[in-house]
């Protein structure tokens, strides 16, 4: 279809002013086109301007500008005189194929409708001017005329000149667009990384789901801890599959509510880690809305509030201890005096019985038994009132440099005499070179024995009781570990309360841990507990080192 261009008649058929009619209007056409292209920065716009200008400038029936650009693809614009504007009258696939098959370097024309790139009904002649960019044919300007006569030599020259201008302009703008796209992509990437870094730095665990309950965001903190999971494994997956350990009904209700109401919801949760330590969480479900106010995502934020909750509990405990202490100091003296009298009277009567003052009848035996009961019960009352007195005592006590290892050894020794049966093994793992601490030896021993007694009570079927010491920076740690029944989660927050006991009446007073707690906090220390139900419990005493 390639043919040498033959000069045909002039362009004077076109009305002057709108169409090219002579050399000067030809020049004007080219300079106008150049000026419009000056303000055009996108290849697609260049194609529009050129196609439109040529269509009206040369009185064609249709005109298309099509260029295949790297990174951008096929940029194409077609105009027709019938539509009087942009149209879709272009055989893109035919053109792409043509472009890939070593297209001719110079302009040519065709009258074979099967080869037309323009699919307008109105033309019977197509003039095709290849667009060269950086030495290669990257596209073409295709102009459709009603008949061959209308495509004069001058018009062909004009189209060729316009094609060169177009090539230059498209080349420039495509570089501009590529640079713009890269910088936009880079800026977006930069922004995405920054947002991710912000979310990863927050000291909370955070994830986001969309309306289909798929996870779209999962921050670093959500990757760690017992329920942590790597980000790569969860992004894009359904939240119910990922969090399969959570009760599905409750989780889906929480999400549905957030999507429906659009209100923030806060839920407090408690978990126990593998070592039995209790953690408290504040979980917030935060609905995220689009500009129309529709909830599109729900953000779940989990905050570790263990320290806060423990502090509140500690304050509560301290207040309770102080109240019990005040009550005790008032009451204990009042009770101790009559108790002493009761014990003394019982003792006197017992010795009278022994002396035979009341004779030797069977009734006297009853009397002896009852006096024994009065005596032992009064003794029990006294041990309770003594326990109570521990609260009220001013505990600043006798603080001297103490070797904890010795205290632990002697406590373990005392406890081993006290334990019932042989089925409890006592293990002592103490470091003999521990630094000294300033403490009241008697009180520390009392605390250790209270913990050890509880440990023995927790192992009715035997087990092992370990006394351990460690030094850790500025603190000394004493651990009392048992392999007993463990403490249920619901009891955890109550065990330090005075009078809280799970033991049968007469066996437990519920004062052991409360006193222990009081002693340790008085020493500027801390008492911690980790428990695993059915496996055992470890109480840890942290004491500051003496300086
Ligand atoms: P008591 O020993 O008189 O019951 P405590 O204050 O010493 O009072 O302990 C309170 C409660 O804490 C106990 O009744 C028991 O339920 C629980 N407890 C304490 N230590 C342990 C332990 N080592 N193992 C299991 N439960 C324990
Ligand atoms: Mg106890």
In this predicted structure, what is the pLDDT of residue 3? 40
Q: 372 and 245: one domain?
A: no
Report CA(516)–ligand 2 centroid distance (Å).
Answer: 9
- Ligand nearest to the CA of residue 485, numbered in listed order: 1
Same-domain pairing of 432 and 500: yes
Residues 214 and 175 in one domain: no
Q: Which of 351, 368, 392 is the last residue of a domain?
A: 392
Residue nearest to atom 19 of ligand 1 (CA): 454
Among 66, 19, 61, 74, residue whose Cα is nearest residue 47 = 66
> Does some domain include residue 438?
yes
Residue recorded with tokens 């500025």: 474
CATH of the domain at 107: 3.30.450.40
- For the stretch 394-448, pLDDT in tens is 455 678 888 889 899 988 988 887 666 679 999 999 988 888 888 888 889 889 9
pLDDT in tens, the chain (547 residues): 434 343 333 333 334 345 566 667 888 889 889 988 988 889 999 999 999 999 988 989 999 999 999 878 899 999 988 776 566 789 999 999 999 998 999 999 999 999 999 988 889 999 999 999 988 999 999 999 999 999 999 999 999 999 999 999 999 998 888 888 888 888 888 898 998 899 999 889 999 999 999 999 999 989 987 778 999 999 999 999 998 888 888 889 999 999 999 999 998 888 776 666 778 889 999 999 999 999 999 999 999 998 888 878 777 777 777 777 777 777 887 888 888 999 999 999 999 988 888 887 778 888 888 998 898 888 878 877 776 776 656 455 678 888 889 899 988 988 887 666 679 999 999 988 888 888 888 889 889 989 999 999 999 999 999 999 988 878 899 999 999 999 998 898 889 888 889 998 777 778 889 889 888 988 889 899 999 999 999 999 999 886 5
* Enclosing domain of residue 483: 400-544
The answer on 368 and 239 residing in a single domain is no
Q: What local confidence, expressed as pLDDT, does residue 67 receive?
A: 94
Q: Is residue 63 part of a domain?
A: yes
219 with 315, same domain: the answer is: no
Residue nearest to atom 11 of ligand 1 (CA): 501
Ligand 1 atom closest to the Cα of residue 539 is: 23
Q: Which CATH number do you get for residue 262?
A: 3.30.450.20
Nearest CA to ligand 1 atom 13: 501
Strand order in the sheet with 73-80: 85-87, 73-80, 62-69, 136-145, 125-133, 108-110
**333 found inside a domain:** yes
Flag whether 1 is in a domain.
no
| Distance from the alpha carbon of residue 439 to the mean position of ligand 1, in angstroms | 25
Asked if the structure places residue 199 within a domain, the reply is no
Global confidence as pTM: 0.47
Is there a contact between 362 and 485 (Cβ–Cβ < 8 Å)? no
pLDDT, position 442: 83
User: How many angstroms is it from 531 CA to the middle of ligand 1?
Assistant: 12
φ, ψ for residue 215, nearest 5 deg: -80, 125
Q: Considering only CA atoms, which residue is closest to atom 7 of ligand 1?
A: 512
Same domain, 337 and 468: no
Phi, psi of 87 (to 5 degrees): -145, 180
- Asked if 206 and 219 touch (Cβ cutoff 8 Å), the reply is yes
**Last-in-domain residue among 335, 361, 392:** 392
Question: Are 416 and 317 part of one and the same domain?
Answer: no
Q: Do 53 and 142 belong together in one domain?
A: yes
What protein residues have CB closer than 5 angstroms to ion ligand 2?
454, 512
Look at residue 288 in the predicted model and tell me its pLDDT: 95
Nearest residue CA, atom 12 of ligand 1?
495
Residues 181 and 85 in one domain: yes
Q: What is residue 219's predicted lDDT score, i.e. its pLDDT?
A: 93
Ligand 1 site, residue 510, Cβ cutoff 6 A: yes
Which ligand places an atom closest to the C-alpha of 452? 1
- For residues 539 and 465, is the Cβ–Cβ distance under 8 A? no
Cα separations (Å) of 362 from 359, 371, 375? 9, 15, 20
CATH of the domain at 426: 3.30.565.10
Q: Where are the alpha helices (DSSP H) in 39-101?
A: 43-58, 92-100
In a domain, 324, yes or no: yes
What is the Å distance from ligand 2's center to 338 Cα?
26
Residues in CB range of 248: below 8 A, 6 or more apart: 240
CB distance 508 to ligand 1 below 6 Å: yes
Number of domains in the chain: 4
Last residue of a domain, one of 151, 167, 194: 194
Q: Which residue carries 């022994």 as its tokens? A: 354
Provide the pLDDT for residue 483.
96
**Same domain membership, residue 323 and residue 287:** no
- What is the length of the chain? 547
CA of 500 to the centre of ligand 1 (A): 8
Helix (H, G, I), strand (E, B) or coil at 394: coil
Residue 245 is predicted with a pLDDT of: 81
Q: Is residue 4 part of a domain?
A: no
Instruction: Please report whether residue 519 resides in a domain.
Output: yes
Query: Do both 289 and 159 map to the same domain?
Result: no
- pLDDT at site 215: 96
Q: Which residue has the tokens 């912000």?
A: 198
Nearest protein CA to atom 8 of ligand 1, as residue: 510
Quick: pLDDT tens for 357-409: 888 777 888 888 899 889 888 887 887 777 677 665 645 567 888 888 989 99
Instruction: Tell me, yes or no, whether 74 and 169 share the same domain.
Output: yes
């Amino acid at each position: 279809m390639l043919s040498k261009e033959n000069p045909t008649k002039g362009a004077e058929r076109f009305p002057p002013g709108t169409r090219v009619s002579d050399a000067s209007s030809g020049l004007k056409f080219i300079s106008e086109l150049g000026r419009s292209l000056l303000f055009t920065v996108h290849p697609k716009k260049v194609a529009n301007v050129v196609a439109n200008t040529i269509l009206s400038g040369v009185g064609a029936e249709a005109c298309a500008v099509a260029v295949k650009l790297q990174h951008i693809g096929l940029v194409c614009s077609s105009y027709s005189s019938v539509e009087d504007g942009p149209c879709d009258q272009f055989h893109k696939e035919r053109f792409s194929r043509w472009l890939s098959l070593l297209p001719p370097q110079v302009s040519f024309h065709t009258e074979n409708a099967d080869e037309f790139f323009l699919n307008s009904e109105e033309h019977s002649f197509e003039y095709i001017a290849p667009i060269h960019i950086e030495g290669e044919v990257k596209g073409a300007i295709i102009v459709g005329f009603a008949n061959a006569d209308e495509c004069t030599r001058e018009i062909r020259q004009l189209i060729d000149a316009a094609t060169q201008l177009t090539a230059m302009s498209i080349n420039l703008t495509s570089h501009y667009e590529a640079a713009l796209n890269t910088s936009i992509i880079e800026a977006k990437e930069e922004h995405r990384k920054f947002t991710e870094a912000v979310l990863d730095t927050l000291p909370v665990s955070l994830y986001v789901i969309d309306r289909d309950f798929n996870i779209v965001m999962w921050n670093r903190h959500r990757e760690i801890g017992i329920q942590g999971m790597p980000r790569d494994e969860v992004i894009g997956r359904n939240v119910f599959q990922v969090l399969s350990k959570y009760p599905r009904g409750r989780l889906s209700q929480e999400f549905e509510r957030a999507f429906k109401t659009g209100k923030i919801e806060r839920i407090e949760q408690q978990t126990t880690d593998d070592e039995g330590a209790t953690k408290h969480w504040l979980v917030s479900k935060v609905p995220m809305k689009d500009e129309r106010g529709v909830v599109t995502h729900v953000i779940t934020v989990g905050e570790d509030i263990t320290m806060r909750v423990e502090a509140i509990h500690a304050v509560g405990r301290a207040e309770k201890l102080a109240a019990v202490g005040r009550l005790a100091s008032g009451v204990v003296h009042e009770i101790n005096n009559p108790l002493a009298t009761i014990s003394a009277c019982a003792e006197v009567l017992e010795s009278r019985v022994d002396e035979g003052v009341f004779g030797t009848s069977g009734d006297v035996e009853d009397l002896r038994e009852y006096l024994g009961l009065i005596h032992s019960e009064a003794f029990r009352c006294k041990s309770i009132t003594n326990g109570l007195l521990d609260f009220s005592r001013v505990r600043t006590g006798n603080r001297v440099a103490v070797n904890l290892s010795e205290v632990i050894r002697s406590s373990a020794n005392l406890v081993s005499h006290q334990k019932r049966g042989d089925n409890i093994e006592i293990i002592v793992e103490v470091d003999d070179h521990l630094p000294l601490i300033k403490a009241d030896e008697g009180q520390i021993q009392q605390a250790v024995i209270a913990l050890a007694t509880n440990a023995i009570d927790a192992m009715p079927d035997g087990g092992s009781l370990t006394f351990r010491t460690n030094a850790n920076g500025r603190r000394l740690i004493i651990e009392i570990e048992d392999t007993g029944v463990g403490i249920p989660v619901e009891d955890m927050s109550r065990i330090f309360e005075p009078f809280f006991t799970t033991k049968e009446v007469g066996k437990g007073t519920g004062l052991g841990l409360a006193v222990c707690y009081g002693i340790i906090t008085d020493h500027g220390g801390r008492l911690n507990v980790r428990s695993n139900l059915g496996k055992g419990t470890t109480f840890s005493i942290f004491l500051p080192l003496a300086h």
